Amino acid sequence: MSVKEHTQEIIEELSTFVAYEKDDELDQLVTAILQAKTIFLSGAGRSGVAITGFSNRLLHLGLSVHLVGEISCPRTKKGDLLIIGSGSGTTPSLVTLAKKAKSNGISLALLTMDKESEMAKIADVVVVLPGVSPKLKENNLTSIQPMGSAFEQISFLTYDGIILELMERMNETGETMLERHTDLE
């Protein structure tokens, strides 16, 4: 099988996974984003890469956005939102971060494969995304891809879907977003 054929298989797999997403969960996340004063985002590993791209697009929408752990990340305040992307929902550093956010009184949104995870139990908004991981206790899905690849990919695509929904609700266009794109490249 060629690389092109493998890629086509991945695309077909992801298109079937989208059917498992729940509109009400995604709508709750979009609403939380629109209501937040400042949005903080975090993830680890490849999930962290996907959420970093999401933070960039939120910035292009004109929202106040910060990546947790960056030196320029400010203190959280009431009315803020922390969004965490974690397939397992059990990554120790992210669990600690989620608990800190809750103790600070800020809202917590989690995108995960496991709605029963430790973080999901304390999150205000939980978006369950389909995927396969050896860390999951129970999962009826299978994937042609190794480890958490499908979750990471569906995360990235879902983040872009959220951006399109936010663009509609905020009356933004690619052109208005481009005005906020960095010019220091």
Superfamily the domain 19-176 falls into: Glucose-6-phosphate isomerase like protein; domain 1 (3.40.50.10490)
pLDDT score recorded for residue 139: 66
Handedness of CA 29, 30, 34, 37 (dihedral sign): positive
Residue 75 has pLDDT above 70, yes or no: yes
Catalytic sites, residue numbers: 152
Of the given ranges (14-23, 56-65, 145-154), which has the lowest mean pLDDT? Answer: 145-154
Q: Domain limits of the chain?
A: 19-176
- pLDDT tens-digit map of 86-136: 999 999 999 999 999 999 999 999 999 999 999 999 999 999 998 877 676
Nearest to 47 by CA among 23, 71, 22, 67: 67
Contact 117, 126 (CB under 8 A): no
> In the predicted model, what is the mean pLDDT of the chain?
93
